[in-house]
Structure 1
Amino acid sequence: MSKPDPSLYRPCVGTMLINAESRVFVGKRIDTKEGDWWQMPQGGVDEGEDLDEAMLRELHEETGLMPSKVELVARMEEELYYDLPDDLKGKLWKGRYIGQRQRWYCVRLTGTEADIDLEAHKHPEFSDWKWIEAALLPELIIPFKKPIYETVVAAFAEYTRA
């Protein structure tokens, strides 16, 4: 299978945030209209932005965590791609992209749960959050992102074993 054309996919970073018990942070999206979907922090990379810096910025925007409250555990070298469902194509991201290409990171919380503040950014993305076992991630994410989450869970499995 050939690699998709990167220009058709929005550049993005995703973060598997784990705690001392190797459980994974998930947030309930504020803008989800249908379903009870939870996801890990993720977001777009600005043009020219370093991927590591984009990950820390997105993590801060979505969880309130300062970079000093986490440590990098691992990063996936390959990008993961997903296509939007047909009913969303042309609607998200001003119709510029047909999906996302994501670089995933695993970081460990070195601060405390009190450092997590979903309202740290003026436009919160999550209404609630919780720690879960990594194996549950693919069942909690919106279905079209499930293959991405299965890949991320497998890639970072050694860090999420209790």
Structure 2
Amino acid sequence: MGTAFYFNDDYPGFGSAAFNPPLTRTGMVEIASASGHEFEVRFGVSVKDPYFYLGSLGSTVTFPPGTRVSRVSGDTEFKVNSNKVMGKPFQPPSGSTALTDSNGVVRLIGDFTSIKFALTPNPGSTVPREGVFLQIGGTSQSLVTSMPATKMATA
């Protein structure tokens, strides 16, 4: 894990055009890329098509083989290739308000109770460790299936 945590819906960094839909006030956790870094997120319930908001991604996120990953939004250097999401390191000039590195949103297709992924530096990177901002969202299948149809239509 990294050093930045926002648990009180007070992180504004996912509010730019690179993130669709934008989240102007949300929670966030920073995770760190390094050789051999692997993570597992356990949802506790089945989540359909979870969204991964990735901020300041100058590394590669690798999901298990066969995971279907769809690019939802992002800047020009935010790329998806099969089960991998790749960002490019970028440092804006001093005093700039531009975002660092690549930024965007991907969606994992399917139902998940947990998901594992690796976060590693890009090949040839001279940076041994890099922080990435993460927010995950989705729809709980237990909430969807337990709501009466009339409630779902008005929710």
Normalized against structure 2, the TM-score is what? Answer: 0.26
Please state which structure has a larger fraction of its residues in helix.
1
Normalized against structure 1, the TM-score is what? Answer: 0.26
Please state which structure has a larger fraction of its residues in strand.
2
